[in-house]
């Protein structure tokens, strides 16, 4: 094996708000409005909640949260493994995120509203056409 | 400002027409609506055309090539599932503003089969099934599960919506399906996104619907007042900011804002409404919209379906056409098809599914993204 082939390429983030620093752990970045305090995922120039301009500042979102909502997906597009749990999670301190809830039996009986969950970062299991790996976020029961 | 009346309206029977073009499908309903009014394309001063699938392809102008190229202005509208209602509302607004006396509004769609939606692949890989689900059944499963979270609404209660609307469609010869679906069949159908089974998802069909609108002076001049239905309110909203809206589309806030505006414009309340055609794109959606439209108090949606209050013969019949669940949901046509349905009841011409004594009807659509349109119509 050549040196180039053995040197693992750094994975790309699955979404622009997922940050992968050179040192330390991946995290989710949001923006907080200095005028009204609303927290958003990702970049924006103007606050959608109050319309304030020039008030957005980057914040690191919590990796702890509570399950607000879920559905168990049994039918999807060809190639997408089912069943899986599509979950809406309110992060502690602000920000709401949709993702897959994993490490749990995908049944309405096993999953409880408001159950505490953690955001974890794992390989997406999918590559783009150039062979790049991606780091994705998932929710697991806390 | 002048009052605005629906003086002609019709829809084709929804179905699958892969061998026809979008303008051809739309032209059929347009001609039927003109016939219903007893007018011709030469009487029309403008065309408002709603279509989503070919939104960049001048569907309205192509439609005129099928029914008469009179040189009138054409406005093509696209607004997700509120597309047809948007075209109708643009026609309404132009007459109300005094720009035209008589206009034609058409909604048309040709759909494929299968799942709609899905989360986009923003960064080079598809994210559907990786970062949750953005398919339409999943989005509206989340809508229902929020109601379950808040009020304990059950899978069975959601399923009853499908039983009701499929039953209604057995009385509607223009519905895609006319088959009864008992509760155990609905609940036992293939689970798509819990709690929506396949029979709790609207039917992707091709279809078209059209309406001729006239000012009060024109309706009188043309001798069309006897069957004219007055548009008492036309309200449209975009989604106001709510905290989770960007990851979980909030169809409640956008509908509540439109309902408030519509009732204010009409000068009446939900207790005055005799029938409703609302946006039952999935069974879960119908229950939340009972509350959003004020047909019952918050948290009572499940009880409303349990008690049969929204069935034909009940206190406030909802989706007696069969709704999107069974009549079918050709996206761009839906908003005018529900105008046709309500108008037909207010005229007393709805046959076996007639809501007896109906004087006031309400139509509601909501397009994801989001756009909500509500119209209140009044008997002649």
Q: Is the pLDDT of residue B1 over 50?
A: yes
The per-residue pLDDT of chain B, averaged, comes to 96
Q: Could you read off the pLDDT of B106-143 as tens digits, one per residue?
A: 999 999 777 777 765 555 899 999 999 999 999 999 99
Instruction: Please count the CA atoms within 13 angstroms of the CA of A35 that sit on its side-chain side.
Output: 12
> Residues B171-195: what's their mean pLDDT?
98
**Tell me, what's the pLDDT at B117?**
75
B329 carries an active-site annotation: yes
At B1 the three-state DSSP class reads coil
What would the pLDDT profile of B269-286 be if each residue is shown by its tens digit?
999 999 999 999 999 999
Strand ranges of the sheet holding B47-50, from the earlier edge strand across to the other edge = B74-77, B47-50, B102-109, B207-215, B4-11, B229-238, B371-378, B360-367, B275-277
pLDDT at residue B124, rounded to an integer: 82
Q: Among residues B41, B32, B118, B332, which one has the least CA distance to residue B205?
A: B332
Say if residue B268's pLDDT is above 80.
Answer: yes
Q: What is the pLDDT of residue A5?
A: 47
CB contact at 8 A, B363 and B342? yes
Cα angle at B261 between B297 and B47, to 5 degrees? 125
Q: For chain A, which residues score pLDDT lower than 50?
A: 1-3, 5-7
Max intra-chain CA distance, chain B: 61
Residue B120 is predicted with a pLDDT of: 57
**ipTM beyond cut 0.90:** yes
**E strands within chain B?**
4-11, 47-50, 74-77, 102-109, 191-193, 196-197, 207-215, 229-238, 275-277, 360-367, 371-378
Q: Active-site residue among B147, B329, B364, B375?
A: B329
What pTM did the predictor assign?
0.96
Closest to A126 (Cβ–Cβ): which among B130, B145, B248? Answer: B130
- Please give the full DSSP string across B62-81, using - where no structure is assigned: HHHHHH------EEEE-BTB
pLDDT per residue as tens digits for the range A64-88: 999 999 999 999 999 999 999 999 9
| Nearest-angstrom CA–CA distance, B337 and B107 | 8
Q: How far away is chain A from the Cα of B138, in angstroms, using its nearest Cα?
A: 7
pLDDT at B119: 62
Which residue of B lies nearest to A71 if distances are taken between CA atoms? Answer: B194
Model pLDDT, residue A8? 61
Query: B-contacting residues of A 84-123, CB under 8 Å?
Result: 84, 86-88, 90, 96-100, 108, 113
Q: 């040192």: which residue's tokens?
A: A23
Which tokens belong to A113? 């509203």
Higher pLDDT, residue B17 or A9: B17
Q: With 90 as the cut, is the pLDDT of residue B190 above it? A: yes
For the segment B63-71, the average pLDDT, to the nearest whole number, is 98
- Asked about B345 being catalytic, the answer comes back as no
The pLDDT of B4-32, averaged and rounded, is 97
Q: CA of A4: how far to CAs of A1, A7, A8, A21, A126, in Å? A: 8, 5, 8, 22, 21
Q: Is the pLDDT of residue B81 over 70?
A: yes
CB A85 within 8 A of CB A100: yes
- Tokens representing B343? 């108008």
């Amino acid at each position: 094996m050549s040196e180039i082939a053995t040197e693992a390429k750094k994975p790309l983030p699955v979404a622009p708000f997922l940050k992968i620093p050179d040192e330390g752990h991946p995290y989710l970045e949001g923006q907080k409005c200095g005028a009204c305090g609303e927290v958003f995922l990702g970049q924006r120039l103007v606050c959608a909640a109050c319309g304030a301009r020039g008030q957005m500042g980057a914040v690191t979102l919590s990796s702890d949260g509570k399950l607000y909502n879920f559905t168990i997906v049994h039918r999807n597009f060809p190639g997408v493994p089912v069943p899986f749990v599509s979950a809406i999670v309110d992060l502690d301190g602000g920000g709401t995120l949709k993702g897959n809830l994993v490490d749990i039996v995908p049944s309405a009986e096993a999953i409880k509203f408001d159950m505490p969950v953690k955001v974890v970062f794992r390989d997406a299991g999918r590559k783009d056409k150039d062979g790049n790996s991606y780091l994705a976020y998932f929710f697991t029961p806390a | 400002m002048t009052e605005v009346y629906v003086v002609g309206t019709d829809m084709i029977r929804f179905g699958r027409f892969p061998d026809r073009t979008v303008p051809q499908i739309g032209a059929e309903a347009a001609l039927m609506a003109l016939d219903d009014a007893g007018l011709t394309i030469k009487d029309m001063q403008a065309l408002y055309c709603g279509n989503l699938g070919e939104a960049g392809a001048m569907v309205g102008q192509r439609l005129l090539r099928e029914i008469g190229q009179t040189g009138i202005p054409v406005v093509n509208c696209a607004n997700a599932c509120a597309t047809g209602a948007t075209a109708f509302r643009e026609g309404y607004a132009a007459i109300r503003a005094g720009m035209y006396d008589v206009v034609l509004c058409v909604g048309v769609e040709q759909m494929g089969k299968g799942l709609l939606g899905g989360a986009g692949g923003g960064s080079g890989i598809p994210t559907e099934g990786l970062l949750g689900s953005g398919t339409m059944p999943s989005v509206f499963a989340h809508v229902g599960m929020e109601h379950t979270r808040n009020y304990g609404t059950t899978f069975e209660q959601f399923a009853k919506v499908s039983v009701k609307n499929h039953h209604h469609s057995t009385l509607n010869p223009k519905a895609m399906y006319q088959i009864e679906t008992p509760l155990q069949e609905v609940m036992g159908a293939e689970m798509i996104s819990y709690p929506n089974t396949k029979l709790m998802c609207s039917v992707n069909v091709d279809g078209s619907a059209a309406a001729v609108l006239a000012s009060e002076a024109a309706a009188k001049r043309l001798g069309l007042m006897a069957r004219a239905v007055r548009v008492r309110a036309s309200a449209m909203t975009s989604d106001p900011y709510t905290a989770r809206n960007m990851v979980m589309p909030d169809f409640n806030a956008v509908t509540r804002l439109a309902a408030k505006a519509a009732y204010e414009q009409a000068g009446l309340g939900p207790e005055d409404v005799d029938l409703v055609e609302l946006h039952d794109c999935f069974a879960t959606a119908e229950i939340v919209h009972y509350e959003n439209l004020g047909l019952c108090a918050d948290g009572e949606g499940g009880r409303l379906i349990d008690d049969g209050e929204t069935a034909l013969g009940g206190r406030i019949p909802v989706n007696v056409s069969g709704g999107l669940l069974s009549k079918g949901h050709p996206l761009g046509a839906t908003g005018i098809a529900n105008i046709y349905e309500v108008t037909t009841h207010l005229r007393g011409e709805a046959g076996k599914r007639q809501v007896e004594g109906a004087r006031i009807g309400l139509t509601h659509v909501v397009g994801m993204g989001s756009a909500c349109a509500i119209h209140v119509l009044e008997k002649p």
